[in-house]
Amino acid sequence: MAASAGATALRAAGLVIFRRHGDKKITEYLLMQTSYGNHHWTPPKGHVDPGESDMETALRETKEESGLQRNSFHVVDEFRRELCYDVFSVPKTVVYWLAELIEPEPLTPIKLSAEHQAYDWLQLEDACSRAGYEEMQSLLREADAFINLRL
């Protein structure tokens, strides 16, 4: 939903989905490109509906935007981060958890909704470059360090 000046703060939630594959367990992140606006790339996420918890939103939006069902990934509860930025002068907070895909494609295909026009699985540096915004790059780097050290 597009924000307007004077509106109340925006809140959204989503999942930084990653997969590890091959003998070297290379980590790749799922980013999706919006079919509107400036066609930016983000992990699956969306606005928190009234009465919904952040986690409920993250799971719902992930399913709606990527087709990934709750049983196709493990949520990493210990990794929760908030991004804060302004959208048309309205402050927005986005809560992200990490989540690991259990079975890579083609067993678990990504099914985009009309909100996105493309998706990609990207290693850290490519994901940072594609995501663009500094805060998202920092989050991806923190996530990558967490995966390497703790998972």
Ligand X SMILES: Nc1ncnc2c1ncn2[C@@H]1O[C@H](COP(=O)(O)OP(=O)(O)OP(=O)(O)OP(=O)(O)OC[C@H]2O[C@@H](n3cnc4c(N)ncnc43)[C@H](O)[C@@H]2O)[C@@H](O)[C@H]1O
- Closer to ligand X at the Cβ: 85 or 146? 85
Write down the least CB distance from residue 71 to ligand X, Å: 22
Give the torsion through C-alpha atoms of 133, 74, 22, 31, to 10 deg.
Answer: -20
Stretch that binds ligand X, among 24-32, 33-41, 101-109, 121-129 (CB under 6 A): 33-41
Residue 47 CB burial class (10 angstroms; 0-12, 13-18, ≥19): middle
- In angstroms, the CA 98 to CA 75 distance is 6
Residue 46 in the binding site for ligand X (CB under 6 A): yes
Residues near ligand X (CB under 6 A) are 1-2, 12, 34, 36-38, 40, 42, 45-47, 83, 85, 87, 92, 115, 133, 135-136
